[in-house]
Amino acid sequence: MKKILITGGSGLIGSVLNNHLKKNYSLSNLDIKESSDKTQKTIIGDINNFTDVKIASENMDVIIHLGAVISVNSSWEDVLKNNIESTRNIYESAKVNGVKKVIFASSNHTVGLFENDSPYKEIVAGEYNNISPESIKKIDENVPLRPDSYYGVSKSFGESIGRYYFETFGIQSVNLRIGTVQKVDTPKSSIRHFSTWLSHKDISQLVEKSIIHDVGFEIFYGVSNNKWRIWDINNAYKKISYMPIDNAENFRD
């Protein structure tokens, strides 16, 4: 059974993944807080502390790195500590402990400024007149980084350090540009979510296939098969057979 460490495992996506992966993998979590699910095995520790991360990642096959401050309005001081320095701690610990793969919760906010441009700005605002979904040139993994915030900058850094550790030390680095995952598993709290929603089933599939398949350095968009999605999921389909089953459109009133 593969051994997996999940950082930020007590949070929303951590809980979804613990539930999905616990049957087939040996899981442990590293978080500053306990999970509300008392059956989850959690080491209380801080990803900003290198020793905490190094100890928690001993003998692991894979690290799923979710721990972070998650607000797009996070301050520079907060992202520097919790998202930037911590992500270096994850990769350095993986190197020291011989962990083969890091799956990093990146974000759509690495390319968020595309949403200032047509047709993306109209689509995320729900203004679909004169746009056909088939005609949208989807944003893929080869576009330039266009972070929209310090948070987006911190996730861009996470992808960049993943590239460095893959090319220099051979650690597989899977970077998931996650769209919108919500506790109530529907896209209905904002019109933008009809484009960006990623259901619990689809993120579970995306992460599990990222564990199973050997890859090098990859960037995959984490989004369900939404009619109005603006991100390209072909790379994830080609490399790891990601085939999302949910579509936000099925939730329109």
Ligand X SMILES: NC(=O)c1ccc[n+]([C@@H]2O[C@H](COP(=O)([O-])OP(=O)(O)OC[C@H]3O[C@@H](n4cnc5c(N)ncnc54)[C@H](O)[C@@H]3O)[C@@H](O)[C@H]2O)c1
Interface with ligand X by CB under 6 A: which residues?
8, 10-14, 31-33, 46-48, 66-68, 70, 82, 86, 105, 107, 178, 180-181
Q: Which is nearer to ligand X, 171 or 176 (CB)?
A: 176
Shortest reach from residue 223's CB to ligand X, in Å? 10
Q: What is the identity of the amino acid at 63?
A: I
Residue showing tokens 């995959």: 220
CB 26 within 8 A of CB 210: no
Q: Is 91 an active-site residue?
A: no
φ, ψ dihedrals at 73, nearest 5°: -95, 15
Which one is catalytic: 25, 91, 151, 242? 151
Shortest reach from residue 232's CB to ligand X, in Å? 17
Q: In 3D, which of 210, 209, 177, 217 has the Cα closest to residue 196?
A: 177
The two three-digit tokens of residue 190, written as one number: 């904002």
Preceding omega of 133 cis (within 30 degrees of 0): no
139 φψ region: left (φ > 0), alpha (ψ -120 to 50), beta (else): beta
Shortest reach from residue 115's CB to ligand X, in Å? 14
Shortest reach from residue 6's CB to ligand X, in Å? 10
Alpha helices by DSSP H, listed for the chain, are 12-21, 50-56, 76-79, 86-97, 120-124, 150-169, 193-196, 200-212, 234-240
- Give the count of alpha carbons within 13 A of 205, CB side only: 19
Shortest reach from residue 137's CB to ligand X, in Å? 22
Q: In 3D, which of 51, 78, 64, 45 has the Cα closest to residue 154?
A: 78
Q: Which is nearer to ligand X, 6 or 240 (CB)?
A: 6
Q: Which is nearer to ligand X, 48 or 97 (CB)?
A: 48
Active site positions, annotated? 151
